[in-house]
Structure 1
Amino acid sequence: MAIVNTDLKQKTIKKAISLSGVGLHTGKNVTLTFKPSIANSGLAFRRVDLEGNPIIEADACYVTNTQRGTCLEKNGVMIQTSEHVLAALVGMDVDNALIELNASEPPIMDGSSKFFVEAIEKAGILELDAFREEYIVTDVISYTDEESGSEILVMPSKEYQITAMVDFGTKVLGTQNATLNKISDFKKDISNARTFSFLHEIEMLLEHGLIKGGDLNNAIVYVDKALSAETMEKLKIAFKKDSISIKPNGILDNLTLHHPNEAARHKLLDVLGDLALIGIRIKGKVIANKPGHFVNTQFAKKMSKIIKNERRNNVPNIDLNQPPLMDVMQIMAMLPHRQPFLLIDKVFELSENHVIATKNVTMNESFFAGHFPGAPVMPGVLIIEAMAQTGGVLVLNTVPDPENYLTFFMKMDNVKFKQKVMPGDTLIFKCSLITPIRRGICHMQGYAYANGKLCAEAELMAQISKVK
């Protein structure tokens, strides 16, 4: 497994765009507005109907209920049935967007992602000055729900693909499969697949007042039992129809299937939307057998946890015994730092987007005399300084005469220290660009590792300035 910075730019939408409708389960009128968002902000919902306009990030850790859709909750603020909107954004290759709602539930529209996709397309797609991260799957990861027999797994693949296999065990709707081989096919093949239900489920939901915004135009109803006169009358009232009948293919009338396997395609749509909660693009093939929101989101939580752990301990795979790309003399030809403040010894990798360097920490370091007597620990600020010097190599590599420049800190954000660094440790630093270098300004994510573990991390911003 590996988290990598791709050479693809992150994307958002060009302008805000709104659409209105009713919530399927609440029956309330709601307006949804897609808004552009900055790089690395991800996908998030904002409740503009509540005081303070609270934001709920599209994160698997906020999933609380999956009974009738995927519900997110943060600090008591809820978003219901998030999956169709999130599927549309992922399907349209959008990394960062803010979804504003004036109710707890997005409008159901026609029960698919079609109208959300059309809105995103109308708003336009904008490339941002930041590179997209991707999680490359190298081993099979799976989650099984023993109670339902549902299983979802991901295996290595050259791109993000999804196959959904459903078996409802009924005559009217048996075994169906659907596959998305490329995200770019989502609009054409998957986005218009509508939500569906069985008649016995509709009866229960109506009886308990749990489906208030539905009509025969936003939910396919498969008739899996005899339709009594009493049920027929209830459906007429609920759906505000003078008459209701059953089509030869076993669905209630007023709808024509977009695809023979529309149910499986919609299940695939749900999988795509639920897995957006992982929070990073996946390079792998997902196979979902009898998927549902519970198993989808449990798998998303498992993936999210694995990725967070790997992000913490994603030690660069370098051979410290091989000759470096740059030794200390070559580093001094580029950086202005000198002893006792030159804090990196070797550079092993250097590209347009990243750099990897090392420092061998010895007891001879001057700072150990006072930090601390009898218990030597490398000061955290010096770990960050060494990380910044590593980043300095990256930015100074962009100019023809680096010896004529100095590098100055502009900002440090999200600085965290995880492990102590002591004499005898070898520090490995990795810095990757968050945004492309412009006018000598470098914005990067830095990590420091020792003994196979993450020691420190920080977002750094620095600028080079010509002094000669």
Structure 2
Amino acid sequence: MVKQKTIQNEISLTGVGLHTGKEVKMTFKPAPVNNGYTFVRVDLEGSPVIEADANYVVNTQRGTNLEKLGVKIQTSEHVLAAFVGCDVDNVIIELNESEPPIMDGSSKFFVEAIEKAGIVEQDAERKYYVVKEVISFTDESTGSEILLMPSDDYQVTAMVDFGTKVVGTQNATMKNISEFKTEIADARTFSFLHELETLLDNGLIKGGDLNNAIVYVDKEISPKTMENLKVAFGKEQISVKPNGILDNLTLHYPNEAARHKLLDVVGDLALVGTRIKGKVIANKPGHFVNTQFAKKLSKIIKLEQRNQVPVYDLHKEPLMDIHKIMSMLPHRPPFLLVDKILEMSDSHVVGLKNVTMNEDFFVGHFPGAPVMPGVLIVEAMAQTGGILILSSVPDPENYLTYFMKIDNVKFKYKVLPGDTLVFKCDLISPIRRGICHMQANAYANGKLVAEAELMAQIVKKN
């Protein structure tokens, strides 16, 4: 079993945002299991959280930009690539601006900070998406394509062809994530001269200089453009090297452009939210095609997980029997709808109910064709989740649990007398101030029969 990992200590970096040009402080902090990667805007009221989720991608102009409820994170990919490359699952990334510092245009400084902070294992199993068949996405307008195929390891190959002699056709391959730190992390972002002119005209790359972006000169530089570049980069002199690169920057690798595109793929696919066991082949990758593929893959994974029924040993001695449950929950028959708690951690709980013909609700609910009421299935899931939230306090007997919100409720199959219902509740976010937000699923007969997002709060008894 591979354990989840987070960083051991918090660590901060300061720098300039590439496009905003603003000074920014970024702090990496340890995060609980199943947190994933979350950005926190500490400069805004309430310190809003933006999860690294493909569904929050709003545009991919010169970077992968996220937005949730009006709160933005720009150019997230280099930071996310560093955490994937360092084999870290859970981290909180605090920012006092919308954009992480560009540093040298690669993931190198982020990797160094992560290693300095230290990496620790956590008491939870890492979840993988094991690729079983080829999944692909093609951007018809550009011909860019991403394929994902079965493999025992996470592998990435990036192939680039910009149709220019100065770069030519390049490719780069990472056969194992362990290669990221030494072979990929220091590959810097790049731009072509014709793009640079447009970016400068549109007020972008305010934080750019010749130390954090490779500039490939793919056209003749006019005297006017040369003067504009001197002003933009604060240089008295700018020259073009024989290999077609602006000024005095030296390439780390002949195929640095392809390696950086591979880095971007790793960072963008981190937005899937699940570790991948499969081989990625990216032909002419870019942030748009990368994130569109991430959105597609995320949907496929969620659909498979939703339909995947967990297996539990129903005959094993339960973690909590009916007596322990009644010592914690205030409910009593006929409204106590959980018979056993099978397992529990800080972030999930599994409960069980044996549905019999003797249930009081069968007397009046379709007595000729007895079906368990859907609202009671939701209540049973909530009672199971109540055990989880009450377990977060030392004196659960002094608290009551109340519903705050129910969202996305779906009933898929009927629950009949003789069925064994298994409830699994997973935290969507950590319990804070006695508020529990969870995804609840109910299973019976090897099928998902109901699901809902539930929010509840514990309140101390008067």
- The TM-score with structure 2 as length reference comes to 0.78
Shift of 1:256: 0.7
1:387–1:447: 8 Å Cα contact kept in structure 2?
A: no
> Runs of 5+ in structure 2 lacking a partner?
324-332, 343-347, 389-396, 428-437, 455-462
* Aligned residue in 1 for 2:248: 254
Residue 203 (structure 2) aligned to one of 204, 209, 215:
209
2:337–2:353: 8 Å Cα contact kept in structure 1?
A: no
Judged with a 3 Å threshold, the aligned counterparts in structure 2 of structure 1 residues 428 and 148 are, in CA distance, closer, same or farther, namely farther
- Provide the aligned length of Structure 1 versus Structure 2: 415
Residue 241 (structure 1) aligned to one of 235, 239, 242:
235
* Cα distance in 2 between the residues matched to 1:74 and 1:358: 36
* Cα distance in 2 between the residues matched to 1:29 and 1:356: 47
Q: Indicate yes or no: 2:212 matched with 1:218.
A: yes
Residue 73 (structure 1) aligned to one of 44, 67, 82:
67
- The TM-score with structure 1 as length reference comes to 0.77
Identity across matched positions, percent: 65
> Runs of 5+ in structure 1 lacking a partner?
1-6, 319-323, 348-353, 392-407, 435-443, 460-468
Letter of the aligned partner of 2:226 in structure 1? M
Letter of the aligned partner of 1:184 in structure 2? S
> 3-state SS of the aligned residue for 1:10?
strand
Residue 181 (structure 1) aligned to one of 155, 175, 183:
175
Judged with a 3 Å threshold, the aligned counterparts in structure 2 of structure 1 residues 446 and 427 are, in CA distance, closer, same or farther, namely farther
* Aligned residue in 2 for 1:380: 377
Letter of the aligned partner of 2:182 in structure 1? K
Judged with a 3 Å threshold, the aligned counterparts in structure 2 of structure 1 residues 236 and 293 are, in CA distance, closer, same or farther, namely same
* Cα distance in 1 between the residues matched to 2:309 and 2:255: 44
Q: Indicate yes or no: 2:450 matched with 1:455.
A: yes
Letter of the aligned partner of 1:171 in structure 2? K
Q: Indicate yes or no: 2:5 matched with 1:11.
A: yes
Residue 95 (structure 2) aligned to one of 101, 107, 112:
101
* Cα distance in 2 between the residues matched to 1:79 and 1:446: 30
Shift of 1:93: 1.1
1:425–1:450: 8 Å Cα contact kept in structure 2?
A: no
Shift of 1:199: 0.6
Alpha-carbon displacement from aligned partner over 1:372-391 (angstroms, at most 9, x marks no partner): 54553153268549979xx9
Residue 276 (structure 1) aligned to one of 270, 281, 286:
270
* Aligned residue in 2 for 1:418: 410
Shift of 1:173: 0.9
Q: Indicate yes or no: 2:138 matched with 1:140.
A: no
Alpha-carbon displacement from aligned partner over 1:302-351 (angstroms, at most 9, x marks no partner): 111112222221135x8xxxxx9776xx879x9678x9999899x9xxxx
> 3-state SS of the aligned residue for 1:315?
coil
* Cα distance in 1 between the residues matched to 2:218 and 2:274: 39
* Aligned residue in 2 for 1:394: none
Shift of 1:427: 4.7
* Cα distance in 1 between the residues matched to 2:351 and 2:93: 40
Shift of 1:284: 1.0
Judged with a 3 Å threshold, the aligned counterparts in structure 2 of structure 1 residues 411 and 39 are, in CA distance, closer, same or farther, namely farther
1:245–1:253: 8 Å Cα contact kept in structure 2?
A: yes
Shift of 1:214: 0.7
* Aligned residue in 2 for 1:466: none
> 3-state SS of the aligned residue for 1:95?
coil
Letter of the aligned partner of 1:162 in structure 2? V
Judged with a 3 Å threshold, the aligned counterparts in structure 2 of structure 1 residues 303 and 238 are, in CA distance, closer, same or farther, namely same
* Cα distance in 2 between the residues matched to 1:231 and 1:336: 78
* Aligned residue in 2 for 1:24: 18
* Cα distance in 2 between the residues matched to 1:262 and 1:454: 51
> 3-state SS of the aligned residue for 1:309?
helix
Alpha-carbon displacement from aligned partner over 1:255-304 (angstroms, at most 9, x marks no partner): 11111110001001111111111111111111111110001111111111
Judged with a 3 Å threshold, the aligned counterparts in structure 2 of structure 1 residues 174 and 17 are, in CA distance, closer, same or farther, namely same
Alpha-carbon displacement from aligned partner over 1:188-226 (angstroms, at most 9, x marks no partner): 010000000001001111122212111111000111111
Letter of the aligned partner of 1:104 in structure 2? S
* Cα distance in 2 between the residues matched to 1:336 and 1:48: 45
1:383–1:456: 8 Å Cα contact kept in structure 2?
A: no
* Cα distance in 2 between the residues matched to 1:458 and 1:77: 23
Shift of 1:229: 2.0
1:153–1:288: 8 Å Cα contact kept in structure 2?
A: yes
